[in-house]
Amino acid sequence: MQDKMAVAGPRLLAFYQKFFDFWFPIFLVLVRVPWLIDPVARFFMRLFALVKPRYFDAIAGNYEIIVPGRKKKEYRAMAKRMMDYHSRYWIEFFRYAKLAPEEIWDHIVNHDAYYRVFEQIGKQGAILITGHMGNWELGGLFVSQIGRPTNIVYVRDRFNIVEHYRSKFRGFGRVNEVPVDRSLFSALPVLRALEEGELIALQGDRDFNDRGITAEFFGRQCPFPLGPYQLALSARAPVIPVFFVFDKQPGKYRIITYPALDVTRTGPREQRARHLLNQYLRCLEDVVKQYPEQWYSFYPFFEQEVTKPTHSQAS
């Protein structure tokens, strides 16, 4: 569904590319002026909603499923706030990427959660699984400060300028990149990193390559990737759900962690992977309920076409 929403002709794609080519360097300069960049970023997000109302309608429609029983105007207000949070995501990723480790630490409200994550890991490789939630890029920067090699698994952006700057700022934070695609071999670097005791940070809430399975999420059947859990089983690595969200009071980021997913279930490999997926989705539901406006989905998430008959019941 996200691919269909993003379909554009060659002329429109060329326009978008020129738009980003022009504005991204300016944006990076404005990031140094907080009182100016915040309203500018919000303006462009609101302008985007006016130019592309179907995306705004999709966001509001998702909230009808996540927090049912409210009025239409409340869902639209939530959609506007979500777009504001998304603009904050970009601003603070660029702003924080150049900070020293101790400065990043000052922007975290609950340091104890940080230690809980690494108490579960020890010295072995591990998968830190998150979603398009809060500011996952900042989470990667923060985790990388412990001195353990940290790798972010990602799908390349279709706009080169966006990917260029995102990659550049990940480098400032000493975060390694592992791009993945539809190729079966793209997962090999991830396996090697896990076997060498490195950390893998990835998102588990989007099925980008249409190879996932359907599973229950907020009472609806939606497609999700199974790959992260198959990788974990292959590498015998723990999977820990971790989210990095903005807390208005006191205006800092909060780390939300959950216990490592239970890998003790026996049975066929795919069944065990499904069990891990369902555990992750319960964690994702929990954090989305707490911070619904910080879950970024710009398409009708609950109206996706199911391309495979594979089905996974909640467990």
Query: What is the tens place of the pLDDT at every residue in 229-266?
Result: 999 999 999 999 999 999 988 889 999 999 999 988 88
Mean pLDDT calculated for residue range 128-146: 86
- Contact call for residues 166 and 279 (beta carbons, < 8 A): no
Dist. CA 266–CA 147, nearest whole Å: 34
Q: How does pLDDT run across 152-180, given as a tens digit for each residue?
A: 998 887 777 778 778 887 887 788 998 88
CB within 8 Å of 82: residues ≥ 6 apart: 59, 292, 293, 294, 295, 296
Split into its structural domains, the chain has a count of 1
- Which structural domain range is residue 273 located in? 2-312
Q: How does pLDDT run across 57-66, given as a tens digit for each residue?
A: 999 999 999 9
Residue written as token pair 């995306």: 55
Q: How does pLDDT run across 7-30, given as a tens digit for each residue?
A: 556 776 777 778 778 777 888 788
Residue written as token pair 């500011």: 135
Residue 103 binned pLDDT confidence (cut-offs 50, 70, 90): confident
Instruction: Quote the pLDDT of residue 309.
Output: 42
Rounded-to-10 torsion of CA 301, 169, 48, 59: 20
Instruction: Quote the pLDDT of residue 238.
Output: 94
Q: What is the pTM of this model?
A: 0.89
Q: In the chain, count H helices and then E strands.
A: 12, 9
Dist. CA 201–CA 203, nearest whole Å: 7
Give the residue among 104, 5, 63, 28 at the shortest CA–CA distance from 294: 63
Residue 31 binned pLDDT confidence (cut-offs 50, 70, 90): confident
Q: How much is the mean pLDDT over the chain? A: 86
